[in-house]
Amino acid sequence: MFSFLPDDINSGHIPAFGYYLALVWSIFGKTLVVSHLAMLPFVMGIVYFSQKLVSLSFSGPLFFLSLLVVLSDPTLVAQIGLVSPDVPLICFFLAAFYYQKQGKVVLKALSLLALVLMSMRGMFLVFAFFLFEWGIQRQSLRKLIRVYAPAVLIAGLYFVLHYFSKGWFAFHSDSPWGASFSFDSVQDMLKKPIIIFWRLIDFNRWILFLVGGFFAYRLFKADRKLYMITSDLYLLGIITVIFGLTGVLFSGLTAHRYFLPMSIMFAFYFLRMVHVAEIKLRTKKIILISTCLVLWAGHLLIYPAQIDQGWDASLAHKPYFTLRSQAVNYLSENNIGHDQVCTAFPDLAQGKYYSLGNDENTFQRTDKLTCDYILISNIHNEIEPADFNNYELVKEWKSFRVWYRLLRITQ
């Protein structure tokens, strides 16, 4: 008989992605290789729909470089390297965007349905598409209802059944994600727009805003506003308002990956500004190649410990997995139990969520300090390494500027 997920792993939205992974694992086995292969159809979808969207406006000698700019987004690349629900989310977002441009109603309806099956953010994107087509393109409500009805009905039915079964909607007080949905103070809300803008330009995406803004300004000064303001810019604006409001109001909804649709949309706008610019073809090629190089260099960016870093938003996090495994193996080899070690997020979950095994051991939180050892890393945004300088260093692991340190608590 069908039942909803237990509260401790229930994120409140339709868990289609989780069920998809579970189905793949049940057939081919629960391994890391199988998990990444399960993502391959969505990765191929991202490439396919990206090249389709690029080909609509940017055919010719600049096609490949234009496509490369879109696919070089550091956060997109980082998420593709993970078994991340944002990969199918972006795949279906690009599909809906493409089919909306092509006027393919049935395929767009299926893409919108797939979006609501992914997450709450997928539902926000569906709402953004609706507002764009209804409010900007002035399409008839009757026509839109036929397109959006499957997505709305499925999502509505799920939430109604979920509420009557669980007694809560979206999140609950004991949810692991509950803190992310708490309202921020007014003081923190006032800071959020700056944080969100930083998320958008981080990992060298500033190059898109700088160059794209420069050419948009030139068009504005030349009184060619029709070339500067496009329908895609209106859709980008609607998505920015929706995701920006949720990011400002709630405390934990400002991760880089949450704004991936906006980053990708702006990449397309950047390409349009470069393509309509009255400069030589060779200069355009240089700009696009330079942009790709700058975006790739974004993976090398690691901030000082005092500045929180979105580790899953670039490939800078990759050494983490090897170093964590080495640290855990060292603890096992030296008979140091997990209950003797304090650490911080993202190392607080049960071992099975890192190795796909049956390890249910967990470390303690550093704020409790009811342990003999502390395992810290520059991956841990919640703690300041300087706070632990007086503890005895037992072992250190390093790789590409990512490090782990095992410290012994001394009285």
244, two tokens: 């920006």
Domain boundary pick from 281, 313, 345: 313
Helix (H, G, I), strand (E, B) or coil at 362: coil
- Is 89 within 8 Å of 115 (Cβ atoms)? yes
pLDDT at residue 220 tops 90: no
Whether residues 299 and 395 fall in one domain = no
How far apart CA 152 and CA 94 sit, in angstroms, is 19
5, two tokens: 């997920």
pLDDT digits (tens, 9 = 90+) for 336-362: 888 888 888 888 888 887 777 777 888
Per the domain annotation, does 2 fall within a domain?
no
How far apart CA 189 and CA 170 sit, in angstroms, is 21
Whether residues 173 and 37 fall in one domain = yes
Among residues 24, 172, 134, the alpha carbon closest in space to that of 88 is found at 24
Whether residues 50 and 66 fall in one domain = yes
Per-residue pLDDT band at 174 (split at 50, 70, 90):
low
Q: How far is CA 358 from CA 20, 301, 333, in A?
A: 20, 35, 19
Specify the pLDDT at position 292.
97
Q: What is the mean pLDDT of residues 132-156?
A: 92
308, two tokens: 């929180």
Per-residue pLDDT band at 368 (split at 50, 70, 90):
low
Per the domain annotation, does 248 fall within a domain?
yes
Enumerate the β-bridge partners of residue 392.
408
Q: What is the mean pLDDT of residues 163-186?
A: 71
Per-residue pLDDT band at 280 (split at 50, 70, 90):
very high
Helix (H, G, I), strand (E, B) or coil at 380: coil
Per the domain annotation, does 62 fall within a domain?
yes
How far apart CA 89 and CA 67 sit, in angstroms, is 19
Whether residues 216 and 298 fall in one domain = yes
Residue-wise over 153-185: b if at least 16 C-beta within 10 A, else e? eebeebbeebeeeeeeeebeeebeeeeebeebe
Whether residues 266 and 387 fall in one domain = no
Candidate from 25-39, 272-286, 305-319, 376-390 with smallest mean pLDDT: 376-390
Angle formed by the axes of helices 32-57 and 16-28, nearest 10°: 130
Length of the chain: 411
Whether residues 78 and 16 fall in one domain = yes
Whether residues 309 and 381 fall in one domain = no
Whether residues 33 and 85 fall in one domain = yes
pLDDT at residue 42 tops 90: yes
Beta-carbon contacts of 248 under 8 Å, excluding residues fewer than 6 positions away, are 184, 189, 192, 193, 196
Among residues 46, 55, 43, the alpha carbon closest in space to that of 94 is found at 46
Q: What is the mean pLDDT of residues 9-24?
A: 87
Domain boundary pick from 261, 296, 313: 313
Whether residues 85 and 150 fall in one domain = yes
How far apart CA 124 and CA 102 sit, in angstroms, is 22
Q: What is the mean pLDDT of residues 141-149?
A: 92
Per the domain annotation, does 396 fall within a domain?
yes
Specify the pLDDT at position 23.
95
Whether residues 250 and 332 fall in one domain = no
Candidate from 252-261, 299-308, 398-407 with smallest mean pLDDT: 299-308
Question: Mean pLDDT for the chain?
Answer: 88
Q: What is the DSSP string of 271-331?
A: HHHHHHSSS-HHHHHHHHHHHHHHHHHGGG----TTS---GGGSGGGTHHHHHHHHHHHHH
Specify the pLDDT at position 148.
95
Whether residues 126 and 238 fall in one domain = yes
Per the domain annotation, does 1 fall within a domain?
no
pLDDT digits (tens, 9 = 90+) for 60-97: 889 999 999 999 999 999 999 999 999 999 999 999 99
- The separation between CA 54 and the C-alpha centre of its own chain, rounded to angstroms, equals 22
Specify the pLDDT at position 55.
92
Question: Per the structure, how many domains does the chain have?
Answer: 2
Per the domain annotation, does 21 fall within a domain?
yes
pLDDT at residue 172 tops 80: no
pLDDT digits (tens, 9 = 90+) for 150-164: 999 999 998 888 878
Domain boundary pick from 284, 313, 342: 313
- Is 212 within 8 Å of 270 (Cβ atoms)? yes
Whether residues 66 and 119 fall in one domain = yes
Which domain, by its residues, includes 302? 7-313
How far apart CA 401 and CA 315 sit, in angstroms, is 12
Per the domain annotation, does 253 fall within a domain?
yes
